[in-house]
């Protein structure tokens, strides 16, 4: 059951940090734009495919490392019981 929680947390981490990375990328692209309704819609636009691929690779590595750390901690706490 613990492994299910580790992988669910990994997927949630991947999705949330991907969204955050896309927003950060778009903030850099539109840093001089006026803050109106269109500005906030532009934050969620998908970047070019090459940039999106870079973002996904970096976030996937972070999520994988996070899963390994979570799995190790889960095993360590389980061993103490």
> Sign of dihedral through CA atoms 26, 32, 37, 38?
negative
Tens digits of residue pLDDT in 1-58: 567 877 888 899 899 999 999 999 998 887 777 777 777 888 888 999 999 999 999 9
pLDDT at 81: 63
pLDDT at 1: 58
Of 45, 41, 50, the residue nearest 22 (C-alpha)? 45
Do the Cβ atoms of 71 and 3 come closer than 8 Å?
yes
């Amino acid at each position: 059951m613990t492994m299910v929680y580790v992988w669910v947390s990994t997927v949630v981490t991947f999705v949330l940090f991907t969204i955050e990375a896309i927003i950060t990328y778009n903030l850099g692209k539109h840093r001089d734009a006026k803050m109106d309704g269109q500005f906030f819609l532009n934050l969620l636009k998908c970047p070019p495919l090459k940039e999106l691929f870079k973002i996904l690779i970096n976030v996937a590595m972070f999520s994988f490392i996070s899963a390994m750390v979570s799995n190790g901690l889960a095993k360590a706490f389980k061993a103490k019981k």
